[in-house]
């Protein structure tokens, strides 16, 4: 009887289970859980295909910032993880693996072995020691052929020039997308390269692009399930940004500025070279700065002081006061005034030489940089007209340059004293880029142009968008601008001028020097011989300027032999180099040619084709057939430019002595090998002899030096 009851009970339970399974099979649900969807999720993989962040170039197409990768290493420990052919995909020899990895990771063999001996782990990582590995280190480890050692790559940003317009180009770093948590493991929440400074930040949306995706079905070991399709949505890469910077002049400026920084140790230096007619910034930098490649120095100055820092410009601002008076017709060059000091309300204002120069004509006020002369010229102009002209120059307004964080500055004309001090550049706050804009009106015959740092952009589809010159206004007449430049020439060439150190042989220079007091935290001006912002603004050639150069040096720690020693070491050689390049570029502009396609030809035939076009050819490789070329086919090149050809066979080192930095970078790019480039200018030595095979792992050092 008991047995019968048990049989009936077991039959009932079995019937219940069968009914339940039938229901689940028919409905596809367990409670509120959809089993079909669960199965789909388990075997489906929706992998993000990352878009490539756009590259930042200089005006000639030299790379300033581009996508790169860093790598993290991990070890597979599960002994069941093998390929379909039975090859081991897990660590098989832990002692050997630990010993070999200790050569490349900052861990001892014993420490690595501790990681490898962990139980019940499918795979393990090696903490921070196994992250942020370079491509060179990854290749070295891969060459050891260690079973079970794998890598994951993480997007990174490469800045090949190091300290090079760092605050302008900016930085991009990995950040978790807004609205997502760092602990979220979904693909759309993973860290992405995000611009946090400079052009990288301002154009972050354009540079970022749109990720694609790959949908597939795979088993628990990652193998694709049979009879399934892979659905791919291609990524849309970010746009490329071409700046107006000329790498040749930018690199030279960095060298000049560092020399002044090392010699006099000022708190701050700013320097800008701009095309007077277009507003295009050709070279610009600041100190303190940082190395964008290593991040060394980033903590000392986060701001782009060219657009984010305001200061009192001092005597260079007198150019605007003089422009207003001449344009309004109130300037009386042949009348005399008593220099030295002047009373304004209850204040006594002084010339930089407090004893003055006696009675002098107003025509000498600007060349001598007389504060008293400017105060009297402003009084003759009148407050309303002075304010009108400053408004026409857009003083206290942003320039609109495509850099983040730009500030507007300030202007105070509420009292006779502030009007008077503004006339000689104290009490008014400007940025460096605002000064470049104001000066362009004088250099460009009354037409004021906006400073421009971006030349054009190119989308992933190839659409090019140019940034044309923007005219900001016409604050003065052309005749006024010419008259002001004549006075600025006297600054440089008259025996009473303050800028004799800025003469450049073969050219007439129009310039204005400046010395402005630095305001302290208590609102009072600091005292002491070095508590000033020393500056010079120059235009060359004076009769029809092509370039404007503006240099400011604040509070040198080491007293210079003269104020001009601070700025002339930057201004003069930079302007000379720019004028030299302009002459050279004008001559070679007519020699522009389209780069021929040389790949798939024999090395001999390709060399002849290139040389017949007037190009210089260097071959890398021991083979006879060209497999890669730089520059690429159809690029615009200049006769005399170097072409690097890569052939099949062993990669052999060419003789790079005399090569430019850009040529060496071509070599590094086409070979994919690890090159270390030091200095600026042209190659003077190479650590690997010409004809030797370029190693896959060891670094090749190329030293450059200015001619």
Nearest residue to 73 via CA among 153, 19, 188: 153
How far apart (Å, rounded) are the C-alpha atoms in residues 390 and 569? Answer: 32
Report the greatest alpha carbon distance in the chain: 137
First to last CA, the chain: 111
For the record, the structure tokens of 220 come out as 């628990």
The three-point CA angle 668-669-671 to 5° equals 70
* Collapsed DSSP state (helix, strand, coil) of residue 450: coil
Give residue 429's Cα distance to chain centre: 27
How far apart (Å, rounded) are the C-alpha atoms in residues 695 and 568? Answer: 45
Nearest residue to 399 via CA among 362, 353, 430, 355: 430
Q: How far is CA 458 from CA 159, 161, 465, in A?
A: 20, 22, 6
Give residue 97's Cα distance to chain centre: 41
What's the burial of 522, exposed, middle or buried (CB within 10 Å: 0-12/13-18/19+)? exposed
Length in residues, the chain: 707
How far apart (Å, rounded) are the C-alpha atoms in residues 558 and 570? Answer: 17
What letter does residue 45 receive in the DSSP assignment?
Answer: E
What's the burial of 90, exposed, middle or buried (CB within 10 Å: 0-12/13-18/19+)? middle
Residue for token digits 């659409």?
A: 463
The three-point CA angle 81-105-693 to 5° equals 95
Do 409 and 429 contact (CB within 8 A), yes or no? yes
Q: Where are the beta strands (DSSP E) in 262-328?
A: 266-275, 281-287
Q: For 394, left (φ over 0), alpha (ψ -120 to 50), or beta?
A: left
* Three-class SS of 581-612: HHHHHHHHHHHEEECCCCCCCEHHHHHHHHHH
* Three-class SS of 356-390: CCCEEEHHHCCCCCCHHHHHHHHHHHCHHHHHHHH
How far apart (Å, rounded) are the C-alpha atoms in residues 173 and 193? Answer: 5
Q: Which helix (H) or strand (E) holds 247?
A: helix 247-264
* Three-class SS of 612-674: HCCCEEEEECCCCEEEEEECCCCCEEECCCEEEEEECCCCECCCCCCCEHHHHHHHHHHHCCC
Q: Which position among 166, 285, 305, 315 bears the catalytic label?
A: 315
624 catalytic? Reply is: no
Q: What share of the chain is helix, strand, coil (3-state, %, to 5)?
A: 35, 25, 40
How far apart (Å, rounded) are the C-alpha atoms in residues 427 and 344? Answer: 15
Give residue 251's Cα distance to chain centre: 12
Nearest residue to 682 via CA among 214, 248, 232: 248
How far apart (Å, rounded) are the C-alpha atoms in residues 299 and 289? Answer: 9
How far apart (Å, rounded) are the C-alpha atoms in residues 134 and 70? Answer: 5
Do 492 and 509 contact (CB within 8 A), yes or no? yes
What letter does residue 50 receive in the DSSP assignment?
Answer: P
Do 641 and 660 contact (CB within 8 A), yes or no? no
Residue for token digits 């746009």?
A: 239
**Active-site residues: which are they?**
315
């Amino acid at each position: 009887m008991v047995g019968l009851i048990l049989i009936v009970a077991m039959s009932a339970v079995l019937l219940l289970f069968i009914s339940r399974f039938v229901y689940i099979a028919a409905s596809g649900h367990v409670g509120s859980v959809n089993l079909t969807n669960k199965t789909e999720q388990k075997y489906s993989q929706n992998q993000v295909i990352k878009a490539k962040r756009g590259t930042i170039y200089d005006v000639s197409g030299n790379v300033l910032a581009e996508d790169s990768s860093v790598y993290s290493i991990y070890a597979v420990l599960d002994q069941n993880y093998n390929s379909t052919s039975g090859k081991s995909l897990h660590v098989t020899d832990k002692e050997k693996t630990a010993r070999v990895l200790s050569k490349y990771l900052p861990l001892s063999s014993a420490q690595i072995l501790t990681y490898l001996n962990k139980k019940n782990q499918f795979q393990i990582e090696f903490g921070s020691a196994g992250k942020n590995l370079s491509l060179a280190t990854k290749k070295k480890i891969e060459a050891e052929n260690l079973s079970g050692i794998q890598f994951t790559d993480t997007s990174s940003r490469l800045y090949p020039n190091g300290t090079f317009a760092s605050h302008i180009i900016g930085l991009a770093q990995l950040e978790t997308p807004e609205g997502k948590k760092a602990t979220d493991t979904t693909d759309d929440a993973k860290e992405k390269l995000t611009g946090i400074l400079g052009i990288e930040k301002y154009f972050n949306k354009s540079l970022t692009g749109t990720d694609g995706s790959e949908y597939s079905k795979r088993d628990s070991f990652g193998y694709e399930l049979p009879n399934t399709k892979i659905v791919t949505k291609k990524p849309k890469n970010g746009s490329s940004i071409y700046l107006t910077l000329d790498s040749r002049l930018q690199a030279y400026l960095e060298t000049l500025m560092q020399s002044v920084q090392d010699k006099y140790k000022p708190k701050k230096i700013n320097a800008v070279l701009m095309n007077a007619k277009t507003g295009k910034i050709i070279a610009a930098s600041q100190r303190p700065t940082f190395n964008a490649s290593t991040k060394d120095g980033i903590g000392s100055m986060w701001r782009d002081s060219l657009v984010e820092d305001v200061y009192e410009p001092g005597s260079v601002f007198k150019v605007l006061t003089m422009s207003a008076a001449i344009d309004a017709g109130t300037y009386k060059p042949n009348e005399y005034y008593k220099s030295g000091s002047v009373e304004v309300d209850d204040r006594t204002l002084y010339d930089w030489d407090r004893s003055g120069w006696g009675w002098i004509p107003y025509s000498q006020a600007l060349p001598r940089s007389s504060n008293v002369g400017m105060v009297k010229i402003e009084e003759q102009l009148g407050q309303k007209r002075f304010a009108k002209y400053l408004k026409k120059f857009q003083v206290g307004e942003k320039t609109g340059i495509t850099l983040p964080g730009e500030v507007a500055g300030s202007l105070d004309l509420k009292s006779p004293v502030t009007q008077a001090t503004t006339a000689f550049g104290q009490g008014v706050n400007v940025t460096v880029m605002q000064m470049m804009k104001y000066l362009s009106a004088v250099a460009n015959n009354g037409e004021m142009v906006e400073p421009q740092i971006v030349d054009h952009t190119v989308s992933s589809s190839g659409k090019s968008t140019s940034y044309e010159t923007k005219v900001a206004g016409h604050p003065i007449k052309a005749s006024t601008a010419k008259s002001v430049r004549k006075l600025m020439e006297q600054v440089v060439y008259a025996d009473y001028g303050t800028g004799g150190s800025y003469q450049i042989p073969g050219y007439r220079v129009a310039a204005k020097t400046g010395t402005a007091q630095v305001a302290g935290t208590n609102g009072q001006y600091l005292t002491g011989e070095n508590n000033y912002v020393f500056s010079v603004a120059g235009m060359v050639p004076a009769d029809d300027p092509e370039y404007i150069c503006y240099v400011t040096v604040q509070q040198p720690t080491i007293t210079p032999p003269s104020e001009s020693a601070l700025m002339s070491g930057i201004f003069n050689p930079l302007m000379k180099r720019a004028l030299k390049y302009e002459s050279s570029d004008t001559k070679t502009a007519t020699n522009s040619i389209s780069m021929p396609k040389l790949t798939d030809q024999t090395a001999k035939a390709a060399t002849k084709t290139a040389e017949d076009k007037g190009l210089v050819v260097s071959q890398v490789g021991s083979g006879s057939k060209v497999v890669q070329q730089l520059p690429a086919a159809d690029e615009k090149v200049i006769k005399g430019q170097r072409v690097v050809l890569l052939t099949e066979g062993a990669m052999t080192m060419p003789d790079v002595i005399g090569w430019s930095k850009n040529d060496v970078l071509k070599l590094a790019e086409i070979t994919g090998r690890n090159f270390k480039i030091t200095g600026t200018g042209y190659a003077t030595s190479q650590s690997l002899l010409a004809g030797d095979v370029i190693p896959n792992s060891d670094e090749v050092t190329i030293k450059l030096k200015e001619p």
